[in-house]
Structure 1
Amino acid sequence: MGEHPDSALVRRGYEAFNTGDMDTLATMMMADCTFHAPGSSQVSGHHKGRDNVLGLFRKLFELSGGSMRTDLESVCVDGRGHAVAAHKWYAERGDRGIEMKGALFFTIVGGKMADIDECVEDIDEIDAFWGTAE
């Protein structure tokens, strides 16, 4: 059997993110896509709209000096428009590095990402790493 379309979408999204290919990511999201980032750092919150989600991704790369990357471990789908992707992500910021397990919960509508919820292993650690708005 072939890969489920929702799983393939998520895998392509991770590949595009890791290469900084925002144009490809834009084609994979609905215009009103929302990304929910946990914690209380400068990158936390509800980023509503494709342009704001892409702006968040650009900021992650900017704050990490382009060092941010994710290693996708698995994608599970339910066949009803939901996918869960488990990963480990890495980044450096100044003289500090971070390595953390996490997951994204996707709602997929019409073959596009409509909503993305992020879960992380340690919210306090990511808040300390990303810091408050400068």
Structure 2
Amino acid sequence: MSNIDIAKTYIKAIQTGDQATLGQLISPDVIWHQPGNHQFSGTHRGMAAVGPMLGKMMEVSKGTFAITRADHFMATGDWVAITIEFAGEANGVQLRQPGVDLVRVEGGKIVEVRLFSSDQPQEDAFWGQ
């Protein structure tokens, strides 16, 4: 499977809530860079930290946070850039904005994730402190 195929499978698994596939694709030692200035911001290392963070994000958004669109997948070396749109509702804020997810793939596993938002202040308000 190419790195783009891995990224496409990853996005589809996120969109469908396929935890088994995510568990197969994401390295247990993943490094996750969550941007911004909110309660989830920062660098999280390992699924032992990332898994609970993602669960809490779904709790805060009452299950509404989702990647609503993934348009383009572009690879260079180990990195795949994905143009996305994400949306949800939390803390009284309706969120719908474009972004870019970068995933680094090594040995068929996602080992690093970097996220970019088009309106970081809005996303910060969405997730809250």
Aligned with 1:114 (options 111, 114, 123): 111
Q: 1:52 is matched with which residue?
A: 49
Counterpart contact for 1:68–1:92, Cα < 8 Å = yes
Give the distance between the partners of 1:94 and 1:19, measured in 2 at CA.
24
In structure 1, the residue matched to 2:72 is: 74
Which segments of structure 1 move beyond 3 Å, counting only runs of 4 or more?
none
Q: Kindly, what percent of the aligned residue pairs are identical?
A: 24
**Structure 2: distance between partners of 1:90 and 1:69:** 6
Q: Give 1:31's aligned residue.
A: 28
**C-alpha contact (below 8 Å) 2:92/2:126 kept by paired residues:** no
Question: TM-score, normalising length from structure 2?
Answer: 0.92
Letter in 2 for 1:54: G
Conserved in 1, the CA contact under 8 Å of 2:91 and 2:127?
no
> Amino acid of the residue matched to residue 74 of structure 1?
H
Which of residues 112, 116, 123 in structure 2 aligns to 1:126? 123
Residue 4 of structure 2 is matched in structure 1 by 7
CA RMSD of aligned residues (A): 1.4
Aligned residue pairs total 128
| Structure 1 residue 94 displacement after superposition | 4.8
Pick one of 72, 80, 94 that aligns with 1:83.
80
- Among 34, 42, 66, the residue aligned to 2:39: 42
Residue 26 of structure 1 contacts residue 54 of structure 1 at CA under 8 Å; is this kept in 2?
A: no
Unpaired segments ≥5 residues, structure 1: none
